[in-house]
Structure 1
Amino acid sequence: MNARHIALPERTPAGAVVCAAEGVGVSRGGKDLLKEVSLELRAGEVLALLGPNGAGKSTLLSLLSGDVAPDSGSVQFGDRGIRDWSLVDLSRRRSVLLQDNQLLFPFTVHQVVEMGRAPWRRTDREHEDNEAISEAIDTADIAHLGSRRVPSLSGGERARAAFARVMAGRTGVLMLDEPTAALDIGHQEAVLGLARARAEAGDAVLVVLHDLNLAAAYADRIALLRDGQIIACDAPERVLTSEIVSHVYNTPVEVIKHPVTGQGIVMPKRH
């Protein structure tokens, strides 16, 4: 069979479930990282995973991406169990940005972004490579870094190069683990604005964040985790209440309304 006749993924209708965890549990070293967690990610939404350190956010993202197998429960991606997909088939359907993506090998920034197109080699979408790479480089604001070697970059510049690699893949599902952690405020807004735009175009975006106010501004739904369990999962205004957030983070907070947008702003109570 001609390699270019490989069956390629089709766009998922808005609102349809693209992947789901059902009663999943993960244990490591005698500790439960996730306990009976169920969650769905839908096309056309930004779903943010929030919670304290060690709540299980990154583990849950790794389960839904297929990088980690659950000890109990199941994960479905599309129309089949996630373990029934080959790695290359998964890579054409979801792009993953890991929290510990160090990119320490001496590749240039342009070479790193090119890696995002690897799943499409010898397919009918290979012709999009140059356009996708250029677009990703521009949107991540790294055009001036193209010939730089990755080890010479700052932490924020590396993060933007890694994000551009993910964007270049042009998959229908983005899974981003703390994509804003090393970025200044301008690039934080830009990255989540791009994630928002992808969702509005029909893609599904799963993002792990620590900043509750960024999640409130850009997410359609928030899943709030604590001790390996989902405490609440709903629209931001229903999840980010002073009662729920104070309980989950064990820190007293207040939620006030932004004077212009009306969006809730979470602030610690200070004396």
Structure 2
Amino acid sequence: MGLMAARHFVLPERATPGTVVCSADSVVVERGGRALLDAVSLDVRAGEVLALLGPNGAGKSTLLNLLSGDTVPDRGEVFFGGRRIAEWSLSELSRRRSVLLQDNQLLFPFTVHQVVEMGRAPWRRTPLEDDDNEAIAESIRAADVAHLGNRRVPSLSGGERARAAFARVLAGRTGVLMLDEPTAALDLGHQEAVLGIARDRARAGDAVIVVLHDLNLAGAFADRIALLQDGRIVACDAPDRVLTADIVSEVYRTPVEVIPHPVTGAGIVLPRRG
């Protein structure tokens, strides 16, 4: 690494738990005359897992893309680290937040190890480049892809690709994780493992925002849930205050009941049948 690059590198500051690390302020996103998001405001805090829930087309992925800086609102503002997100360069953002996209196909013939290495790209020519090998190895273990290291991505199953992509995001070691449906292609054990890692990262002080379709996973692992419907947030609070039978039945337009988990007591959402 060159002396000039080292001299100008500023290590991203770690946010104090409870601090707002990014936020949307009355954001509007319109496409084809339709509002995908309509005057949405939301804060994401260090030290928490914030789950975005809602029916198909509610605006979950659009909101995540706004908070990551990948989408620009038609109206309203997005802030990251106390500044308008547009004021950050892409390289500065990439060292402060890691993003797992919903459409993460990874179809190029890279090996799994090469894919995970890509997560370290933001730290090239910085002092933290020295952590590459440790970060890559740790992420490969956490995502349970060590046995796949030399396999080429197109040969993998959907779940294996998803875990390789998750390992890439973990390797970045940023203070904000933004995950769009990270459990969609995973089996039960790996779903629990991925969200357990998200929970651990939040306990360590990181901010985690995750789009989910499984209400019960969100209820088990999230500190707060933002429930979207037709481009608006209709509820944002602790899981037991959001995942009630009345609220879920209305938003998803199907009757449900909520029963306590026999061990944890957390609410379990079930469709009302029979």
TM range (shorter): over 0.9
Residue 12 (structure 2) pairs with residue 2 (structure 1): no
Is residue 2:143 matched to residue 1:140?
A: yes
Whole-Å Cα distance in 1 between the matches of residues 244 and 55 of structure 2?
16
Look up the match of 2:82.
Answer: 79
Residue of structure 1 in register with 2:108 after alignment = 105
Structure 1 match to 2:50:
47
Counterpart AA for 2:6: R
Which TM-score applies when normalising by structure 2? 0.98
1:36 counterpart = 2:52: no
Q: Partner of 1:125: helix, strand, or coil?
A: helix
Match of 1:268 among 248, 258, 271: 271
Deviation, structure 1 residue 8: 1.7
- Cα distance in 1 for residues equivalent to 2:86 and 2:248: 35
Opposite residue 3 of structure 1, the aligned amino acid is: A
Matches within 5 A, 1:1-271: 2-5=4-7, 6-271=9-274
Question: What's the CA shift string for 1:189-213, capped at 9, x where partnerless?
Answer: 0000000000000000000000000
Q: 1:32-62, CA deviations, whole angstroms, 9 ceiling, x for partnerless residues?
A: 1000000000000000000000000000000
Distance in 1 between residues matched to 2:189 and 2:202, nearest whole Å: 20
Opposite residue 4 of structure 1, the aligned amino acid is A
- 1:248 is displaced (CA, Å) by 0.4
Q: Which amino acid aligns with 2:220?
A: A
Q: CA RMSD in A?
A: 0.6
Q: Aligned partners of 1:67, 1:209: CA distance in 2, in Å?
A: 19
Give the superposition deviation at 1:30: 1.3
1: CA distance, partners of 2:13 / 2:26: 28
Structure 2 CA distance for aligned equivalents of residues 226 and 98 of structure 1: 21
Q: Which amino acid aligns with 1:199?
A: A
Deviations 1:245-268 (A, max 9, x none): 000000000000011110000000
SS at match of 2:228: strand
Letter in 2 for 1:79: G
1-side partners of 2:4 and 2:163: how far apart? 36
Deviation >6 Å, runs of 4+: none
Write the distance in 2 (CA, Å) between the matches of 1:4 and 1:195. Answer: 31
Distance 1:39 1:253 in 2: 27
Aligned-partner SS, 1:255: strand
SS state at 1:2 partner: helix
- The amino acid across from 1:143 in the alignment is A
> Unaligned 5+ residue runs, structure 1?
none
Q: Deviations over 1:69-98 (max 9, x none)?
A: 000000000121000000000000000000
Q: Give the distance between the partners of 1:182 and 1:239, measured in 2 at CA.
A: 25
Distance 1:32 1:75 in 2: 17
Query: Identity of paired residues, percent?
Result: 76
